[in-house]
């Protein structure tokens, strides 16, 4: 069942099946693939409208001050 494996994440929220370095995301977010796609296209921290994801990756450019 390769479809199930393609969407599987580890308990730490890491995903090695996207072909990019590992990053961490909110485990409650079911939009991980879409989130990671946007992150690696934009090269910056992106959160969905509900703000449930916080990316902890050194490759991501973070602003000096966040609004929240």
Answer whether 9's CB lies under 8 Å from 26's CB.
Answer: no
Does pTM surpass 0.85?
A: no
Give residue-wise pLDDT tens across range 15-25: 545 554 444 55
Average pLDDT estimate for 37-66: 53
Cβ contact 25:53 at 8 Å: yes
pLDDT of 56 reads 46
CA separation, residue 15 to residues 43, 50, 66 (Å): 17, 21, 26
In three state form, how does the secondary structure of 18-46 look? CCCCCCCCCCCCCCHHHHHHHHHHHCECC
CA distance 60 to 39: 8
């Amino acid at each position: 069942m390769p479809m199930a494996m393609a969407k599987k994440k580890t308990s730490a929220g890491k995903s090695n099946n996207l072909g990019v370095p590992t990053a961490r995301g909110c485990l409650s977010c079911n939009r991980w693939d879409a989130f990671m796609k946007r992150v690696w296209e934009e090269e910056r921290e992106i959160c969905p409208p509900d703000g449930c994801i916080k990316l902890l990756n050194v490759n991501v450019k973070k602003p000096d001050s966040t609004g929240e």
